Chain A
Amino acid sequence: MQPRVTAILVVRNGEAWLERTLAALAAQTRRPDDFVLVDAGSTDGSAARLSAAAPSRVVTASVSSFGAAIERGLASLGPAETGGDWLWLLGAETIPEPRALERLLAAVEVAPSVAIAGPKLVDPDEASTLLSFGESVSRRGETVRLVDGELDQAQYDSDTDVLGVSSSAMLVRRSVWSELGGFDPGLPATDAGLDFSIRTRLAGARVVRVPDARVARGAAPEDFGRRRPASVSARFRMARTAQLHRRLVYAPGGALLFHWLSLVPAALFRSLGHLLGKRPGLIGAELASGFAAAFDGSVPAARRRLRRTRRIPWTAIAPLRVPSDELRERRAAERERRGGRAEEPELVRASFFGGGGAWIVLLAAVISVAVFWRLLQAGVVRGGALLPLGGDVGRLWANLVIGPREGAVGLTGPADPFSAVVAVLGSLTAWNTSHSLVLLWLVALPMAALGAWWCATRLSERRWPPLVAAVLWMLAPPLLAALVDGRPAAVLVHLGLPWLMLAGIEARRSWSAAATASLLLAVVVACAPVLAPALAALLVIWAVLNPRALVRIVGIAIPAAALFAPLAFWQIRHGTPLALLADPGPAIASAPPSGWLLLLGHPSASDDRWAASGAALGLPLGTLAPAVLLAPIAVVALLAVFLPGARRAIPALAIALGGLVTAVAAVHLHVAVAGAEAVTPWAGAPLSLYWLGLVGAVVVGVDAIAPAGVPTGAVTLVAATAAVLPLLAVPLLGTGAVQPGSARLLPALVAARADVDPGVGTLILTPQADGSLQASLARDEGTALEEVSTLVTTRREVREQDAPLAELAGNLASRSGYDPEPLLEELRVAFIVVPELPAGATTAQTAVRQRTSEALDASPLLTPTVSTPLWEYTALDESGATAFRPTTVGVAVPIAQGVVVLIALLLAIPTTRRRRVVRELGPTESDPADTFDEDEDG
């Protein structure tokens, strides 16, 4: 007897394919005996087209899933006439070849045990490409497409028994369909066919694939009803949701609770994996599918259905699953085929050892040791903005909690992002937190050389230009000025900028590089907030130039933004947004540089050491000598614009311009206060950016004039080295501010008291040049580097809470009849320090110090100590301390920031294969293809 075949064609917005499908159906050699057209809520012209084709057979169903639409279509038919009835499940996008049904039927007719037959699903445009031909699951239940986009060479034709087939163009025995209850409503999008096949297998029937039946498939089952294919993450979410649904349905009752409980943890854990695997776009889908599965109401019904229909044990179908080793092989093959980086051009650059990079770093290390020999034995380095760090690593991190900021009374707010940088630094040398700064000073030159060399290898494929870059960068006036003047933040910026540029350039193609750039940007901006506008502008330009990597490049700003968000909120709420630009760390006024000095990369007038050297020789060398000696850099940088490579030189000069404009703006904007002096952001960090651009252009220039590159580079290097010799001499001779020092911020007596009486305060009265007196309040051992807050240094006015401190300080500094006891108790001040005057103190400064010391001496409440200018208020009540209790928000905010940074960190860890590196060009070899430019196109 001929079996009766009912074709059910489900259409949901399938206008694009419908015409071809209907024609293909009509052209079948074995016509279906009956067919139903289901319009599943189309909103395009599909419905009209269906009505035109066969109005009497159109069923309109307002359902969205393929399986539900089939059920509606079935319902419109009468009951099955015989047990041999077959259903052929078609969608608008499945275009069967003329003999498809005939061959499907031929396959099932010879084997009565077969309940499902699936055709070869091929590409509608290229019939020899197999899209799907059988499906299976791995040991862990993941869907495995046995074939996925392979050329059909009949390689799968011999093996017809499979675990499952796709729902598209599936031929299924109608009795089985009814018995198993059709597709699982819990699998609306994907895996419906696979799940149905597995249940069929468990019911004791067979599932086969039919090699000679071919159906073109225009869209995957998960794209059913979609106008355009689902995105990668949506596809992933559907697949993962389906897998979790099946897991809950298939799991034995005993393991169900375990599976359910593990859903959300697993989602979180797998999210970390996505981060490490550089697939951050899938995290949302992963979490969504985890939660969807956890609250999946269709599981109990599905489990009941499975229990009712299962006749054979799971072990019976185990051989049809894909074994783990085979799965690994498949995955490896697939990676090879996709080969994310395989298409990328090779990276041509000098090798670190053969190309001289190692030698230049070694040279830098030797210079560093020779120049900073005084620090070799030092445990702590002091001077300028170099303060010791708090001794305890735990306290370094606890300081990040939103709470009272040290130095002012009753000032509560978030810590500077720089405090987090300091905490990381201090944790690196946990045995002596302050030692990290000594090491920073010692490794600054070699690290600068290394970073510049590495970054320059992306600009030039030759051996010589990166070496020029390394020397110019490590002997950059802004770096040496930062080292001489004691500006740790600026040193970190200088070391970080080349790597930031390198990672930023790579960010257009790599998640790992983008995350690295984001972390470096966060560090650089935390160290020098004044760079934020310039770097943001560069980032926007870079994103516009690379629209395909827009998200990645814009995302670089996220960790920096997260770190600054609480501070920005605080400052903007207090109406002082400009204060965000203030340098972190202690505010220290520096002599304002002239515009000429800024052009020469000197951040402050005092850094023009040629002026002093020249004065000693009786020559007006200041500004002029460095200008002459640094001129070759300007010449080569400008020359680069005229030569091949201008495409790289122009952006480099644009970076230089950004840095220069920032530096000029910075030195004209008072944002912080140091006693009686208004303080601008230090120009060193912007000048590092400026220098970065100049060095970049020089590298391009030296690269472009290849035959003359070596002599040109040598002249530039010699002149630039001569220009900074007076700066290098400062640490060598030990005449600068930076010196080995003590880890103590306040006299030992204070530290001893703080040990037994935490929170004890020390009032520091610093005479100012104008005869005023700065009063600040330090707690415990003193205000360590990480405890300095820009909230304190950028205050614009005397707040209400400052009044008692001012009253106390003013009276203590005067011969007065004032009784300081109540305020000393209220502010918990046990010590008063009047620091020694700096060299070159004014008369007014000396006078106010004299007045203050005499008045303090004359106070019967205070006990002077002989050795240091320190007075002790011995009567302070020890039990008066009230420990600070952070608020929930105060703790949650830094933790959230930490999570953002951690995510970036996980994303930054390189897990994929690096680009292949090939040998660099020699100094005189002729130009090959410029890979940098090819990169930009790729």
Chain B
Amino acid sequence: MAEPTPEPPEDLEPAELPAPGDEQPARPGRGRRAALLSLRLVAGAVATVAAAATVGAVGLLPLPTSGITPPSVEVTPVAADEVRTCAGGALRLGDETGANADTAVAIGIPAVRADAVNASLQHGSISESDAGNGGSAAAPQVLRIASAEGALLTGAQSQVVDASNFSGFSAAACAEPSGSIWLTGGATTVGRTSILTISNPTPVRALVSLTIYGEQGVIEAPGLTGIDVAAGAQRVLSLAGFAPGLLSPVVHVEARGGQVVAYLQQSIVRGLDATGVDLVDAAPDPATELVFPGVQIHDSLGTSRAMSLEDWDDVAPVVRILNPGTEPAEVTVSVTPVDAEIAGTGFTAQAEPGVVTELALDSGADVDSGVALADGVYTVTVSSAAPVVAGVRTSAAADIGPVETEGIVPAPPSDVAWYTAAPALGDLALFTVPPGPAPVLATVNPTDAELAVILKRLGNEEVTLTIPAGGAVTTALVAGETYELQGATGLRAAVSYAADEAMAAFPVTVARPVSGPIVIRP
């Protein structure tokens, strides 16, 4: 395309290639122009081929990447003391006469059992409490051992209260302080009192904030954030102060600074009759699979009859589910009896995000017999597409016979129990059984292989429990003793009590993994 314009000789650029024609006189002639044209064509062709080769090579050739790898060093942290803090004595708002309703008062002293393996146990207690019992035996007990290989610590408390307008049996494991605690249980409707206790056993002040979920969603209320829990102190808060009239609260306790232990104590007064107390243990973090071992249905006939009484509808067994995420999740609940001769049930439900869903545990059962779930020990499993927290409540009520007459009906002896999902255990686990009626260890094996677990009563005989894959086993325990589980990897276990007036349970927990080694890139 350069041809239409005649080219002056200067433009011929003889030096661009070491061609033999370099020294030719620059006289425009037909031959020379042809030579130059072909020279250019050759140069262009060479350049085009080179360019194509380059493009092909760059685009297609896979080249290895080499060079340095980021340096790192693995640091194994110095182990910290292991600490458990118990719930402390039962608390009542106001005194016997009902005065001073905004002050918590301790009633009675819980029976605390604690034990340690391969370590020396130090006892202490929370020194200051809103309930005014700091440092006393009724204050939350603080159990501590120096961390060591193979050292295990456990503690639990139980308490029978029989005061006017406050009666029942509660039991709870002493818990490890944490920065994030989920409590699924309680209610703040009329007659239901829920008291939140937050203890800080660490040497650092904790700033606690609460998120309360209800059946309508998250509760907005003043005072939910910036709750100051001084080092070694306990705060007692009434849930009704934040969210009155709530049927099914779920509380998320988050602490900055020091780590805390939180319990929810629920007490029930129906009419004038105190008919139940329980302590809600901390639930595991939201998960897609929750296992509740040892859920006891006791006095199912009496309970279903009691339900027809006024204000007794919450004796029915329920599962309470919160989906803290942002997307709805389908939840499958299965209720499986340990005893193969009784029928189980199961159902699915939709858990809307941010909202607490409470469902009757027997939702999926046919109620021909009038009693959906027969008496017995069940395993409740909650599976969800999204991580959820859940709790199970059962109540016992003595059978008072068919209610036929009008007028005042004496309240049946009754108690309530909240079950918390049990975490998967490691190889070794230690638990203690505080005094209470008919303690039972329920073990569930959600794994795919049969587990042979050695249950050893400290300083005493040991038995081997064989739990089939996906199965469950219950074992009677001796109250006041401490047991060690060996070979329990993957097992879920809970201790539960069941009597007409004394229902309670707590899961067997393990210490959260001590901070493991961490990779540092300095």
Contacts and interface: CB of A to CB of B under 8 A. Distances in A.
Interface in A630-688: 634, 638, 641-647, 650, 653, 657, 660, 664, 667-678, 680
Interface string A802-825: 110111011101111110000000
Nearest to B48: A638
A643 B7 CA distance: 11
B91 to A, nearest CB: 27
B58 A668 contact: no
B80 A817 contact: yes
A768 B343 CA distance: 50
Nearest to B7: A644
Nearest to B514: A815
Given A644-B7, A668-B66, A816 B44 contact: no
A817 B58 contact: no
Interface in B257-301: 257-259
A928 B81 CA distance: 90
Nearest to B51: A638
Contact of B13 (A598, A644, A796): A644
Interface centre among B12, B59, B516, B518 (most CB of A within 10 A): B518
Interface string B480-522: 0000000000000000000000000000000000111111111
B366 to A, nearest CB: 42
A924 to B, nearest CB: 10
Given A595-B58, A638-B44, A858-B202, A578 B67 contact: yes
A877 interface: no
B60 interface: yes
Contact of B522 (A598, A599, A809): A809
B259 A806 contact: no
Among A596, A678, A858, A859, the most chain B Cβ lie within 10 Å of the Cβ of: A858
Interface string B62-81: 01111111111101111111
B47 interface: yes
B13 A646 contact: yes
B519 A811 contact: no
A321 to B, nearest CB: 52
A6 B425 CA distance: 124
B101 interface: no
A643 B40 CA distance: 7
A592 B59 CA distance: 13
A858 B522 contact: no
A598 B54 CA distance: 12
A29 to B, nearest CB: 52
Nearest to A805: B522
B67 A670 contact: yes
B70 A647 contact: no
B15 interface: yes
A934 B11 CA distance: 11
A664 B231 CA distance: 59
Interface residues of B, number: 64
B68 A864 contact: no
Interface stretch (A388-396, A848-856, A895-903): A848-856
A596 B55 CA distance: 8
Contacts of B13: 644-647, 930, 933
Given A641-B44, A816-B78, A810 B68 contact: no
A235 interface: no
B346 to A, nearest CB: 30
A97 interface: no
Interface in A779-805: 794-798, 802-803, 805
B391 to A, nearest CB: 24
A802 B75 CA distance: 12
A304 B326 CA distance: 106
Contact of A927 (B7, B68, B79): B7
A775 B522 contact: yes
Interface in B60-106: 60-61, 63-73, 75-81
B65 A592 contact: yes
B73 A816 contact: no
Given A810-B518, A815-B80, A664 B58 contact: yes
A599 B515 contact: no
B406 interface: no
Contact of A798 (B76, B518, B522): B522
Interface string B121-135: 000000000000000
A770 B70 CA distance: 12
Contact of A669 (B65, B256, B516): B65
A644 B64 CA distance: 41
A490 to B, nearest CB: 20
Nearest to A643: B2
Contact of B59 (A599, A677, A805, A816): A599
B518 A773 contact: yes
B16 A664 contact: no
B227 interface: no
A797 B517 CA distance: 19
Contact of B8 (A660, A676, A929): A929
A179 B79 CA distance: 104
Of residues B60, B64, B68, which shows the largest number of chain A Cβ atoms within 10 Å of its Cβ? B68
A115 interface: no
Contacts of A858: 179, 202, 204, 257-259
Interface in B230-261: 231, 255-259
Interface in A913-938: 926-930, 933-934
Nearest to A770: B519
A175 interface: no
B10 A933 contact: yes
Interface string B1-22: 1101101101111011000000
B35 interface: no
A857 interface: yes
B67 A813 contact: no
Contact of B68 (A599, A641, A796, A798): A796
A116 interface: no
Contacts of B452: none
A708 B2 CA distance: 11
B61 to A, nearest CB: 7
B307 interface: no
B63 A668 contact: yes
A680 B66 CA distance: 10
A592 B63 CA distance: 12
Given A595-B58, A595-B60, A646 B515 contact: no
A776 interface: yes
A677 B80 contact: no
Interface in A705-733: 705-708
Given A644-B7, A650-B47, A653-B51, A857 B256 contact: yes
A706 B5 contact: yes
Contacts of A817: 78-81, 147
A592 B77 CA distance: 36
A774 interface: yes
Contacts of B179: 854, 857-858
Contacts of A592: 65
Contacts of B4: 707
B28 interface: no
B70 A675 contact: yes
B518 A657 contact: no
Given A647-B13, A664-B58, A641 B70 contact: no
Give 7 nearest A-B pairs by CB, closest first: A810-B75, A670-B67, A814-B515, A814-B77, A642-B44, A772-B519, A816-B77
Interface of A: 408-409, 578, 592, 594-596, 598-599, 634, 638, 641-647, 650, 653, 657, 660, 664, 667-678, 680, 704-708, 768, 770-776, 794-798, 802-803, 805-807, 809-811, 813-818, 848, 851, 854-855, 857-860, 864, 866, 926-930, 933-934
Given A772-B519, A816-B80, A857-B179, 5 more contacts: A643-B2, A667-B65, A771-B519, A802-B73, A858-B202
17 contacts: A641-B47, A643-B2, A660-B58, A669-B66, A671-B67, A673-B70, A705-B2, A774-B521, A813-B520, A815-B80, A816-B78, A817-B80, A817-B147, A855-B515, A858-B204, A860-B231, A864-B256
